Amino acid sequence: MVTSKNGHVYDTIVVGGGAAGIGVAISLRHAGIENFVVLEGNSVGSSFAMWPEETRFITPSFPTNSIGMLDLNSIAIGLSPAFSIGVEHPTGMEYAAHLRGVAEFFELPVQERTRVLRVTHVGDDFRVDTDEDTLRTKNVIWAAGEFQYPRQDGFEGIELCQHTATIPSYKQVDGDDFIIIGGYESGVDAAYHLAGRKKQVLLFDKECPWEETTSDPSVALSTYSQERMRAEEFGQYVKLFPDTPIQSVVQVGEAYEVTTKDGQLFQTTTAPLLASGFEGSHKLVADLFEKREDGFPLLDENDQSTIVPGMFLCGPAVRHGNHVFCFIYKYRQRFAVVAKAIADSLGLPAEELEKYRQWGMYLDDLSCCGEECVC
């Protein structure tokens, strides 16, 4: 028998207090589930607060429109960071404050500064070991996000690079010439801000996301980034190298040599900046999921593990077929699905949740723009 120190058994434990964790916790409330807790390793929204100071949401925020569509960056119906913050493209710090306000408004049971060490499936329950306690629960929703887990593999010498996720502000980065490896949103963001400071930038990508014609924002650059690439200083100070994967990075004295796979050699006096994306926290519970061919967790129709009942996934790591739920407005569609599945397992009617589930279905029908796009 798995027991908490105080003997309490939760119906659900949510791991992560970011957009996914707070959003699905609201859905649990709407489903009539009260016996749950949200465990956050730092503070609510802390991953957003760690963004570089200048970085903003690429998806715009609007309070509403004539047909009642949700703000792209909202995590529940009736909420809009545009209304609470008054900014179209909020910074990470601003959005973190929004999430904290939402958690307080819904009086969510959030336990901050509680680091989850492991999740173990024992019998019909789960044991969640934290740095201070051992908790017991019937269900676990893993919503720990990805920003704190940058991807740092792919070529020799990658450890010599500085990941953009570790930069507090581009104003604090020393140097006059920069090499950025990775040309998707984070890479373009870094190049834009450095060009604004009149720094010379070489931007490399193994593909060419700025010329993708697909409607899927998981592949093509956002309009916000494309617009910034047309800025005068970006064109003056940034040189693009599409379809140019990196072979290696080596340090020679105080300089760094970057070699591409086609044999080109480039030098910079500052550590190359790495905009290679994120591994994601889901790898910390990989043993509780089967694995897809692309390495992401295999989920059933309720975003539940196919091998461990009661283990759910929320957030940007959710995948279904070719659908990539990597933005807030994508993965929030799954909150009601997860909450309803848990409510059903507990024998709760979840009557209030039904309108949210139906709203999500309405949004799917209204905004679907192709097999590979979940808008």
Tell me what pLDDT residue 246 has: 97
Tell me what pLDDT residue 179 has: 97
Tokens 């704190």 belong to: 148
What residues contact residue 58 under an 8 Å CB cut-off, 6+ apart? 89, 185, 222, 224, 225
Q: How far apart are CA 316 and CA 59, in angstroms?
A: 15
- 311 bridge partner residues: 140
Q: How far apart are CA 85 and CA 136, in angstroms?
A: 37
Tokens of 272: 């190359």
DSSP state of 147: T
Distances (CA, A) of 94 to 98, 137, 196: 6, 33, 22
For residues 375 and 330, is the Cβ–Cβ distance under 8 A? yes
Query: If phi over 0 gives left and psi between -120 and 50 gives alpha, with beta otherwise, what is residue 9?
Result: beta
Q: Per-residue confidence at 142, pLDDT binned at 50, 70, 90? A: very high
What residues contact residue 219 under an 8 Å CB cut-off, 6+ apart? 209, 212
Answer whether 9-148+278-367 and 158-274 agree in fold.
yes
Tell me what pLDDT residue 367 has: 35
Secondary-structure class of domain 158-274 per CATH: alpha beta
Tell me what pLDDT residue 356 has: 58
**Is pLDDT at 232 greater than 90 in this prediction?**
yes
Q: Per-residue confidence at 167, pLDDT binned at 50, 70, 90? A: very high
Tell me what pLDDT residue 66 has: 56
Question: What's the pTM?
Answer: 0.89
Lowest mean pLDDT among 33-42, 146-155, 316-325: 146-155
**Is pLDDT at 361 greater than 60 in this prediction?**
no
Please state which of the four CATH numbers 3.40.30.10, 3.40.1350.10, 3.50.50.60, 3.30.1370.60 is assigned to the domain occupying 9-148+278-367. Answer: 3.50.50.60
Tell me what pLDDT residue 146 has: 84
Q: Per-residue confidence at 65, pLDDT binned at 50, 70, 90? A: low
Tell me what pLDDT residue 2 has: 41
Tell me what pLDDT residue 212 has: 77
For residues 281 and 186, is the Cβ–Cβ distance under 8 A? no
Taking residues 292-317, what's their average pLDDT?
Answer: 96
Tell me what pLDDT residue 6 has: 65
Structural domain boundaries of the chain?
9-148+278-367, 158-274
Average pLDDT of every residue of the chain: 89
Q: What is the β-pairing status of strands 110-111 and 36-39? A: parallel
Q: How far apart are CA 337 and CA 341, in angstroms?
A: 6
Tell me what pLDDT residue 362 has: 38
Count of Cβ atoms closer than 10 Å to residue 300 Cβ: 13
Distances (CA, A) of 99 to 42, 105, 193: 14, 10, 26
Tell me what pLDDT residue 136 has: 97
Task: Give the whole-number percent of the chain exceeding pLDDT 90.
Answer: 73
- For 93, phi then psi, to 5°, come to -65, -40
**Is pLDDT at 52 greater than 90 in this prediction?**
yes
Q: How far apart are CA 64 and CA 234, in angstroms?
A: 32
For 263-292, write each residue's pLDDT tens digit. Answer: 999 999 999 999 988 888 888 999 999 999
**Is pLDDT at 7 greater than 90 in this prediction?**
no
Q: Could you write out the DSSP letters of every residue in 208-241?
A: -GGG---S-TTTSPPHHHHHHHTSHHHHHHEEEE
Task: Give the whole-number percent of the chain exceeding pLDDT 70.
Answer: 90
Alpha helix ranges (H) inside 197-313: 223-229, 232-237
Task: Please state the length of the chain.
Answer: 375
For 198-208, write each residue's pLDDT tens digit. Answer: 999 999 999 99
For 10-29, write each residue's pLDDT tens digit. Answer: 999 999 999 999 999 999 99
For 34-43, write each residue's pLDDT tens digit. Answer: 999 999 999 9
Say which residue, 16 or 362, is predicted with more confidence: 16
